[in-house]
Amino acid sequence: MDNNNKPTGIKKLFCACIYSAKGLKACYQSEFAFRVEVWLAIVLIPIGYLLGESKVERVLLIVPIFIVLIVEMLNSAIEAVVDRISIEHHKLSGFAKDIASAAVLFSLIIFLVTWSIILL
């Protein structure tokens, strides 16, 4: 450890993994949309793998699923930070939440377009 008692090396990597696991668990427990998307991912990832006729198609079918999950987690994080600051309605708070929600919508569009182009 360095002078500030912060972990380094392997211990730092281990701690980062623990924090990530806590984040996944918290998002899963508190966000309905994320739970739905996780269960859809569990179903769609194997389907995407099986339906892809090449390695490139498999990647193109699977990656958008992870993009949706990532963007949903970022959306949840933005909402949590905004709510932490104040639960009162504020124009900028609504602006931030709406943009994060729009990002989720765009990630879903990426998913739908990619799957449609490859499978239809």
What is the Cα–Cα distance from 21 to 29, expressed in whole angstroms?
Answer: 12
**Active-site residues: which are they?**
72
Measured CA to CA in angstroms, residue 91 lies from 69, 72, 88, 104 at distances of 27, 22, 10, 20
Amino acid code (one letter) for 55? K
Q: 15 — phi, psi (to 5°)? A: -60, -40
Helices (H) and strands (E) in the chain, counts: 4, 0
